[in-house]
Structure 1
Amino acid sequence: VRHTFYTVLAKDQQEVLQTLIPRRGEIFIKAGGGNVWQPLAVNRIFQTVFLVPKEVTDKNTVAEKLAPLAGISLEKIIEKLNDPQDPYEPLKSKLDDEIAQKIKDMNLSGVHFTPENWRWYPQGSLASNVLGFMGVKNNQRVGQYGLEQYYQDILAGKSGLLDSQKDALGNWLLMGDYNLEPAQDGLSIYLTLDQNIQYVVEQKMKAVMEKWRAASGCAIIMDPKTGAILAMASLPDFDPNEYQRTKSEDYFMNSCTQKLYEPGSVFKPVIMAAGLDIGKIFPETAYTDTGLVRIGNWTIQNSQQKTYGLSTMTQVLEKSINTGVVFVQRLIGGEIFKKYIEAFGFGSSTGIDLASETSGNLKNIEENKDINFANAAFGQGILVTPLQMASAIAAIANDGKLMQPYVVEKIVAPDGQEQITQPKVIRQVIAPQNAGQLTAMLVSTVRNGYDKVKLPGYFVAGKTGTAQIAEGHGYSDNDTNHSFEGYAPAYNPQFLIFLKLEKPQGISFASESLAPVFTDIARYLFNYYEISPEE
C-alpha cells in the first residue's frame, strides 16, 4: 500500500488510499476548568520528497541543490540516484512547508512531492514521558512508550480493504467491479492531566534539578479521592517531534512508573498505618530511643547517629526516627507487616494506563528475615516506583481506600460517543478512623519537622525521605535519593504531591532540597483551585 501511495499519480487511486488508511486518534490535555481541551498529539500533513532517478539528467546538480535543504549529504543523494531504472527513491519525510516550497521553486527534474500524514506534538516536550511518540517498528508506524503505545490499537483504528484487480505496474483497476471497505478511524483520548499544572510542575522540577545537579527528577500530582493524575513529570524529558535526536533511550522511560528505587523514610507512614490499624500503637504510644537497635549481628541506627530518648509515635514521624519504626515493626511482626505492604499496592503494578509499568521488588521481605523486615520499616531493602509510593500515601489521604491511578478521563469515537473512565477502588487498606489518626500525625510532622514548608492557614500532611542508594554489596557513601510526599487540605484533600530527585549534589536532606518546591507547588494549587485557608 505504501509503495503504491508514493508511485501512483492517478487521482482516483490516491482517493482510494485515503479511504483505506485510517486517521489516528488524537490526544488532548485539559486546559483549566470546564470542558476546555488543548491538543497534545495530532495528525498533520507534511510534504515527503522522493526521487525518480530515471528522470534525473544531471545527478550532481540535483544532489548539490537538494543536500543543504534536505539535510542529507551530497554522497547519499548521489547514491540514491545511481540506478537509472529505479522508479522511486524516498529522500526526506516530514518536510515543513517552507523547505518544501524552496525545493519546488527550483523545479528540479526527477524530484517529486506527495503529502503524507504524520504525528505532530504541538506542545513539544510537555508531558512527553506520559505521551510517548509515534515511531517505526518493523517498517510500520506504531506508538512507542507511554500513551501512544498503551492505546495503540484504540488510537490506530482499522485499515480498510480493497478487493480489485491490478495492472502490470501494480496499480488498482477501478474501472470494473471492485469491493471497497472503508477504514475505521481511531478514537481520540482526553487526559486527566491539567496543562497548567503540568507546565508549572515541569518548570519547578527542572529548576530544582539544575540547582542541585540531580541526575533525574520525578513529580506526580494526583487527586487522592479518584486516582486521577493531574500532572506527571519525568526528567530529563524529550521532544517527541524529534525523538531520533534524543541522547539516550533512557529519556523515553517514565521514571514515575518504570524506574525502581529504595524509598527511605517516605515509607515510614506505611508501617505506622499497619500498627494503628491492628491496634498495636496509638499516636501517643511512647518508647525510649537509645539511638540504635541490634538484630542478630546487625545494628540499625538513626540518621546522623542521633538519640532522641522518650518519644511518641507522632514524634517518630516528626523526627524520622529509624529505631521508632523498627519498634513498631517488631510489635506487629513480619507476616502482618508484609500483608500491609502488599495491601498498599507494593510489589504489584498499580494498573495505570501507561505502557510497561514496573511492579517493584519485595524479594528481601519474602525471605522472612527479621533484619529485612526491620530495614523495610524505614524504606530500605525494598524497591518501589514513585507512583506506587504516591498511590499508597493517597490511600491514607482517602480514608484508607486505595484507588487505581489513571491518566485518561475519556475516550471519544469519531461519531462523538464517549467512554468515560470511572474511578476504581482497589481495596480498603486501613480503617477510616486509623487513616484519620495517621493524617493528624503527618500534619504534626509537617508543622513540627519541616520549617521550610511555609503554608500558613492550611493543614498539610506530609513526609520526606532521604534514602541511601545501593552500591555493590552496600550503600553509597555519597549519593542519595530525595523524596517528598504530602496532601492538602489534610482533612479534605484535593491533591497529593509526590516529588523525587535522584542523586542531588551539595545538599544532604530532602527537607532542604524539596520542601521549598513542595511549598511552591502546593501554594500554586491552593490558588488554582481557589481553596480558602482553614485557619
Structure 2
Amino acid sequence: MNQPHVKPHSRIMVLFSVFILLMALIGYRVVAVQVVRSSEFSRWAVAERMQQDIVPARRGEIYDSHGVRLATNMPAARVSAIVDQIPDRALAAQQLAPLIGRTPADVLDALNQKDIEWVVLARNLSPEDGDKVRALNLPGIVLDAEPSRVYPFGDFAGQLLGFTNNAMAGNYGIEGQYDSLLGGTPGKLIGERDGQGNVIALTQSTWDPPVDGSDVTLTIDSAVQEAIEVILRQTIKEQRAIGGTIIVQDPNTGAILGMASAPSFDPNAFVDVKNASTFLNPAISAVYEPGSTFKSVVMAIGIDSGAVTPDSTHNDEPGYVELPDGSRITNFEGAVWGTETMTEVLQRSSNLGAIYVAEKTGRERFYDGIQAFGFGTPTGVDLQGEEQGILTLPGEMGWNDALYATNSFGQGIACTPLQLVNAFSAIVNGGRLMTPYVVSEVHSANGTTVTQPQVVRQVISETSSSTMRTMLESVVDHPNSLYPTVPGYRIGAKTGTAQVPSPAGGYIDNATIASIIGFGPVEHPRFSVLVKIDWPKEEGTGLQVSGPVLQKVFEQLFLLYGIPPDDLEAAP
C-alpha cells in the first residue's frame, strides 16, 4: 500500500503557521505585561523601595516645684558589632574595652556568642567617648546615636522618680505612672529610597511628625527632699537600722513636699541593682503595723462620735484587760495609771485607754471611722505600686474581739506610711481626707494642666479637728513630756513602737519599727510629717529613735519656708 505523500511546501506552511501563532502569544504577553499590567508592576517595584522609619519623640522632662530639672535627656552613643565583619575579634575587644567601660574578656565573650550576627556592646556613652570609638575605625563596629535619660542628681529621689529602660520606656515612680504622657508619640517617615537608603526627591512620601512628650512639674521641693534624705541616712547609720521612710505632706492640699526612703538607688545605674524590690517605693508599698501612732486616729474617731471628750476619764486598774481566750493586754512595761483623762491617754500612750475609747465608740462606728480615714484602700496617689494595707472587718474571717482590742492601739491592722500620714493630715486640717499627689502640673503643646486638690470626704468635724490639734500639742509640751521640741514653735505629735509580725505567726524578737507622726504649726498647720525607722539596733522606742528626727525635720521646714516663731506668751 502506498504511503501518503506530504509535499515539502505543505510542511513548511504548517511550521510557519505554528511559528506565527507562538509569536502572537508572546506578543500578547509582552503587551499584557508592559501595557495592561505595567501599573501593577510599577507599584510592586515602588513598594520594594519604600521604607518606614520610626522617629522617636522627645521624652518630657521632670521638674521639682521650683523648676529644678530632676530628669532630662542627653545625646548618647551606642556601640554595636556586626560580628562576621570583624577580622580579629580579640584585637577589637582589646581596643574597645577601655573606651566602653568593659573588660576585654567581657567584650570578647559578647562577640563570640553563638548564633548571633549583631550585638550591642555599650549604651549611653558620652559624645566624647563615642568620638574615641569612631577614631579606632574598626571594621564591623557600628556607632550610632540614641537618646539617653539622665538624672542630674544621681540617687536623689530615686524611688520617687523611677527610671527608663534602654527603650526609653518608664518604669516605677513618676516615670512609670506618667509614661504615656512623658513618652509622647513617635513619628513616621515613609518614602521611596535609592540604593544608598536616601529618600528620592520628587517621589511620594509620608511624614507624620513625632509629638513630643509632656513635661511634668512635681509638688516635691528639692530643698525639703534633700534635707529629709540627709537626715534619714544619718539616722539609719546611727541606729544601725535596716531602712526607713520620711514623708512631708501639705495637710491642706494633700501635696507631697518630700518623700524619702532608704535604701534607694541611682536611676542612672538601674542595671546595677541586684534586687528588684529596691525599685519599689516603701512609702507606698511597705505595709506595716502602725503601733501607737494609730491611737491618734482612734482618739479622733472617739472624739468626733461623741463617745469621749478630752476630759472623759477611765480607770485602768488592775492594769490589764483580759481577752476571751484568757490572754491579757497591758500598758507598755506594765504601767498602771489609775484614773486618767483621754488627753492623758494620748500623752502616756496608754493601750488600755485606747481599748476603752474603742469600746465606748462601739464596734460599728469604730470600724466605719477607720475606713473613712482611708485605711484598707489605696489613697489614690499618682505613683505606681501602691498597696492598700490590711484591715479585717467584723464578720470577715479572722476578726474577733481580740483583734477589736488590739486594733485600737495599732496592732493587727497594717497600712503604708502614706496612708498613715494622709489620715493624720485629715485629723489636723479641719477633718478633710485629701487625695495625696506628687504631680502639680503637666505641660504639653496644648497648654498646662494643673492638679487641683481633691477632697475625698469630710471624716471628722472642724471642731473635732481643733480639739485633736490641742490634744496632740499637749502630748509634746505637757510638763512630764520627753518629746523633743522646736524652740519657739508649737507642734503636735504621737509616737509609735510597733512589733514586726513573723511569717510563722506572732512577732519577731527584738525587731521593732520606731515611728512618730507630727504636724505644725498648731494654729495653722503647714506640714504633716511621718518618720519611720525600721529595726533600729541602738535604741528601741519611737520616742527615742524618731523623736529627734522629727525635731530636725521641723527645724528645717520652718527655716526653709520662713515661718516665724509662734508667740507663746503675750508680751508684758
Pairing of 1:313-352 with structure 2 (within 5 A): 313-352=342-381
Instruction: Give 1:84 shift.
Output: 13
- Of 155, 164, 174, which residue of structure 2 is paired with 1:125? 155
Cα separation, 1, equivalents of 2:114 and 2:541: 68
Unaligned stretches of 5+ in structure 2? 1-49
Match of 2:420 in 1: 389
Match of 1:456 in 2: 487
Cα separation, 1, equivalents of 2:533 and 2:176: 27
Contact 1:133 1:148 in 2 (8 A): yes
Matched AA of 2:528: L
| Residues 113 and 323 (structure 1), Cα distance of their counterparts in 2 relative to 1, 3 Å cut | same
SS for the counterpart of 2:165 is strand
Contact 1:450 1:515 in 2 (8 A): no
Instruction: Give 1:261 shift.
Output: 0.1
Match of 1:476 in 2: 508
Residue 54 (structure 2) pairs with residue 26 (structure 1): no
TM-score of the pair, normalised by structure 2: 0.85
| Residues 414 and 171 (structure 1), Cα distance of their counterparts in 2 relative to 1, 3 Å cut | same
SS for the counterpart of 2:269 is helix
Match of 2:88 in 1: 58
Contact 1:25 1:186 in 2 (8 A): yes
Q: Deviations over 1:238-263 (max 9, x none)?
A: 00000111232221111110110000
Q: Deviations over 1:336-379 (max 9, x none)?
A: 11100000000011010000211111126553522111110000
Contact 1:45 1:118 in 2 (8 A): yes
Residue 282 (structure 2) pairs with residue 262 (structure 1): no
Contact 2:75 2:126 in 1 (8 A): no
Contact 2:173 2:384 in 1 (8 A): yes
Instruction: Give 1:173 shift.
Output: 5.9
- Of 390, 409, 421, which residue of structure 2 is paired with 1:378? 409
SS for the counterpart of 1:363 is coil
Contact 1:54 1:86 in 2 (8 A): no
| Residues 74 and 501 (structure 1), Cα distance of their counterparts in 2 relative to 1, 3 Å cut | same
Cα separation, 2, equivalents of 1:95 and 1:252: 24
Cα separation, 2, equivalents of 1:470 and 1:178: 65
Q: Deviations over 1:408-455 (max 9, x none)?
A: 01000146x110000000100001101111111100001136424121
Residue 130 (structure 2) pairs with residue 108 (structure 1): no
Residue 126 (structure 2) pairs with residue 99 (structure 1): no
Cα separation, 1, equivalents of 2:334 and 2:562: 43
Match of 1:10 in 2: none
Cα separation, 1, equivalents of 2:434 and 2:359: 29
Pairing of 1:422-441 with structure 2 (within 5 A): 422-441=452-471
Match of 1:33 in 2: none
Contact 2:215 2:444 in 1 (8 A): yes
Cα separation, 1, equivalents of 2:175 and 2:160: 9
Contact 1:235 1:251 in 2 (8 A): no
Pairing of 1:183-262 with structure 2 (within 5 A): 183-262=210-289
- Of 161, 180, 186, which residue of structure 1 is paired with 2:188? 161
Cα separation, 1, equivalents of 2:118 and 2:508: 57
Match of 2:178 in 1: 151
SS for the counterpart of 1:410 is strand
Residue 391 (structure 2) pairs with residue 362 (structure 1): yes
Residue 432 (structure 2) pairs with residue 401 (structure 1): yes
Pairing of 1:482-521 with structure 2 (within 5 A): 482-521=514-553
Unaligned stretches of 5+ in structure 1? 1-12, 31-35
Instruction: Give 1:79 shift.
Output: 5.3
Contact 1:227 1:405 in 2 (8 A): yes
Equivalent residues, number: 512
| Residues 60 and 193 (structure 1), Cα distance of their counterparts in 2 relative to 1, 3 Å cut | same
Cα separation, 1, equivalents of 2:347 and 2:331: 13
Cα separation, 1, equivalents of 2:305 and 2:370: 14
Instruction: Give 1:57 shift.
Output: 3.4
Residue 102 (structure 2) pairs with residue 72 (structure 1): yes
- Greater displacement, 475-484 / 161-170: 161-170
Cα separation, 2, equivalents of 1:28 and 1:145: 17
SS for the counterpart of 2:181 is helix
Q: Deviations over 1:49-98 (max 9, x none)?
A: 22244543333221211123323343454455569998743221111234
Matched AA of 1:135: N
Contact 2:379 2:419 in 1 (8 A): yes
Cα separation, 2, equivalents of 1:516 and 1:494: 20
Cα separation, 2, equivalents of 1:377 and 1:424: 29
Instruction: Give 1:169 shift.
Output: 9.1
RMSD: 2.4
Cα separation, 2, equivalents of 1:80 and 1:244: 17
Contact 1:403 1:425 in 2 (8 A): yes
Match of 2:563 in 1: 531
Instruction: Give 1:47 shift.
Output: 1.1
Q: Deviations over 1:89-116 (max 9, x none)?
A: 3221111234333333433333332111
Cα separation, 2, equivalents of 1:510 and 1:475: 17
Cα separation, 1, equivalents of 2:299 and 2:180: 43
Cα separation, 2, equivalents of 1:388 and 1:89: 46
Cα separation, 2, equivalents of 1:500 and 1:509: 11
Cα separation, 1, equivalents of 2:71 and 2:395: 43
| Residues 82 and 357 (structure 1), Cα distance of their counterparts in 2 relative to 1, 3 Å cut | closer
Cα separation, 1, equivalents of 2:351 and 2:289: 15
Pairing of 1:285-304 with structure 2 (within 5 A): 285-290=312-317, 291-297=319-325, 298-304=327-333
Cα separation, 1, equivalents of 2:298 and 2:114: 74
| Residues 181 and 105 (structure 1), Cα distance of their counterparts in 2 relative to 1, 3 Å cut | closer
Contact 1:287 1:311 in 2 (8 A): yes
Q: Deviations over 1:249-306 (max 9, x none)?
A: 2211111101100000000011111111111100010111122111212311111111
Cα separation, 1, equivalents of 2:462 and 2:116: 73
Match of 1:411 in 2: 442
SS for the counterpart of 1:48 is strand
Match of 1:522 in 2: 554
Instruction: Give 1:227 shift.
Output: 0.4
Cα separation, 2, equivalents of 1:174 and 1:117: 28
Contact 2:320 2:329 in 1 (8 A): yes
Cα separation, 1, equivalents of 2:162 and 2:114: 40
